[in-house]
Amino acid sequence: MTKPKISSDWMAGCAGCHMSLLDIDERIVQVAELADLRATPITDLKEPDASGVDVGILEGGINNTANEEVAHRMRKRSKILVALGDCAVFGGVPALRNFCGIQEALQRAYIDAESVDESGKIPSDPELATMTKVRALSEVVPVDVFVPGCPPDADVIFYVLAELAQGRKPELKDELLHWH
C-alpha cells in the first residue's frame, strides 16, 4: 500500500496553525508512518510536490495575488484540500480590515501607529495586502475539509491528518472543537 502524500503551505495571517501542527509532537511519527509528509513545517522541502499530493493543507486568508496563486496551485495539485485555521476558513483576524478598507488599515498600521519605522510611509512590499478584501480560501477554490480554530487544537489537526492518511473523511464533531 502506497502512503498518501501530504503537503502544506500558508498565506495571509500568521503561522500559528503550522505551529499547532508542530505541537502534535511525537504523534507526528504516527502520521509519518501513515503518510509521506512532503512540504510541511517539519520537512526540509520548501515547495509542494509539483507532481501532486493526496492531501494539500492551506493556512491563511487570501489578501493578494500571490495568495491566490498559492491557493490555485495547491488546489490543482491536491486530491483533497484542507482549509486550516480561522483565516483560511472564514478570513479570521486578517479579514477584520474588511470593515474599514485597505487604505485605512494600512494608514493605521504604518502611519498612525507608534512604530520603529520612522519613514512615515506605507511599505511597497508585494506581500502586503493588495486586494480590497481578505477572502476565505473557499471563496477562491473548492475546499474539501474545514478545520477551524485560531489556531486549531493540535489534537484536532492530528485527528484530521490521521483520518485523511487512512483514506477517511474526518468528521469534526463539536466535542473535538475547542475555542481558545
**Domain layout of the chain by residue ranges:** 5-94+132-169
Give me the pLDDT at residue 175, please: 63
Tell whether the model's pLDDT for residue 9 goes beyond 90.
no
pLDDT tens-digit map of 59-97: 888 988 889 998 999 999 999 999 998 888 888 877 777
Tell whether the model's pLDDT for residue 46 goes beyond 60.
no
Tell whether the model's pLDDT for residue 11 goes beyond 70.
yes
pLDDT tens-digit map of 115-169: 666 777 777 766 666 677 888 999 999 999 999 888 888 888 888 888 988 889 9
d(CA 28, CA 35) in angstroms, rounded, equals 10
Give me the pLDDT at residue 1, please: 62
Quick one: fold of 5-94+132-169? Rossmann fold (3.40.50)
Tell whether the model's pLDDT for residue 49 goes beyond 80.
no
- Mean pLDDT over 40-58 rounds to 70
* Contact indicator for 54, 79 with CB cutoff of 8 Å: yes
